[in-house]
C-alpha cells in the first residue's frame, strides 16, 4: 500500500482555506454538511466504489496527517508514527472528531482525500491544548487502506480510544523522543569532553617526559 501513496501538496505551503481557494482555482470540492464546515477534495479516486465505511463495515483503517489550516503546522501523523490508524464509526460512541465521522462514509478503499474541518466539527472553542488552539480550522490528508466488519485482534486494545486520547499519546511519544534526543546529546557531549580530557592528559604526559629527558 505504501507504493500506492499519493504525494499530497505540502499543507504548510498551502495554508489558505480550501473553500476560499475553490473560488480562484475551481477546485472540485464537496461540502459535506452544507455549511462549509467539512470540505472534501478528492486527490485520488479508487476505481472500485463498492467498499466504503458503513454500519456493516464500521472499522476503517487509514493513514493520515493533520495540520493547522492557518499555519500549516503538523500536529499529528500516522505515517510519522509508522503505524496506520483504525477508526471505529459508531453512533453510540464517538472515537474521532465529527468532521471525520462526516467524511469517512464518503470514501472508499484506495481513496486519498484532503479534508478541511472547521472548529465546529473539530475541537471547538476549547481546542485541544497544546497542539490545537481554540477555534482552529484543521486540514487532513487521509488515505483509506481498508474497511472491515470486525477489527483485527491486535487492534482491540486501541479502538475505544477517543481522538483526544490519541493526541495525548502522540504528545507523550513526542516528549519521550525529545527526552531521548536530549539524553543522546548529553551522552555525546560527555564523550567528547572525556576524549578531550584524555587528549589533554596525553599531551601533558608527553611534555613531562620531554622535560625529564632534558634534565637528565
Catalytic residue positions, numbered: 64, 75-76, 97, 123, 140
Peptide bond into 130 cis (omega under 30): yes
Cα 134 to Cα 50, 56, 69, 86, 121: the distances in Å are 38, 35, 13, 26, 13
- Beta-bridged to residue 88, according to DSSP, are 59
With H, G, I as helix, E, B as strand and everything else as coil, classify residue 58.
coil
Beta-strand pair 29-31/59-68: unpaired
**What is the length of the chain?**
216
Q: Which triple of cell numbers denotes residue 32?
A: 459535506
Reference 96, options 18, 144, 161; nearest CA is 161
With H, G, I as helix, E, B as strand and everything else as coil, classify residue 149.
coil
Helices marked H in the chain — which ranges?
18-25, 78-81, 98-103, 163-215
Rounded Cα gap, residues 104 and 190, in angstroms: 51
Amino acid at each position: 500500500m505504501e507504493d500506492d501513496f499519493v504525494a499530497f501538496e505540502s499543507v504548510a505551503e498551502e495554508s489558505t482555506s480550501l473553500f476560499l481557494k475553490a473560488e480562484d482555482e475551481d477546485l472540485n470540492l464537496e461540502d459535506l454538511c452544507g455549511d462549509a464546515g467539512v470540505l472534501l477534495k478528492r486527490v485520488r479516486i479508487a476505481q472500485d466504489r463498492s467498499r466504503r465505511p458503513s454500519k456493516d463495515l464500521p472499522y476503517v483503517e487509514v493513514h493520515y496527517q493533520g495540520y493547522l489550516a492557518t499555519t500549516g503546522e503538523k500536529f499529528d501523523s500516522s505515517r510519522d508514527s509508522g503505524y496506520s490508524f483504525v477508526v471505529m464509526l459508531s453512533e453510540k460512541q464517538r472515537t474521532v472528531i465529527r468532521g471525520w465521522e462526516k467524511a469517512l462514509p464518503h470514501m472508499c478503499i484506495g481513496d486519498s482525500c484532503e479534508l478541511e474541518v472547521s472548529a465546529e466539527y473539530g475541537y471547538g472553542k476549547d481546542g485541544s491544548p497544546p497542539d490545537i488552539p481554540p477555534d482552529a480550522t484543521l486540514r487532513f490528508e487521509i488515505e483509506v487502506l481498508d474497511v472491515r466488519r470486525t477489527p483485527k485482534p491486535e487492534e482491540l486494545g486501541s479502538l475505544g480510544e477517543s481522538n483526544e486520547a490519541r493526541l495525548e499519546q502522540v504528545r507523550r511519544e513526542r516528549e519521550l523522543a525529545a527526552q531521548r534526543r536530549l539524553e543522546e546529546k548529553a551522552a555525546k557531549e560527555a564523550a567528547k569532553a572525556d576524549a578531550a580530557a584524555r587528549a589533554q592528559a596525553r599531551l601533558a604526559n608527553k611534555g613531562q617526559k620531554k622535560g625529564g629527558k632534558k634534565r637528565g
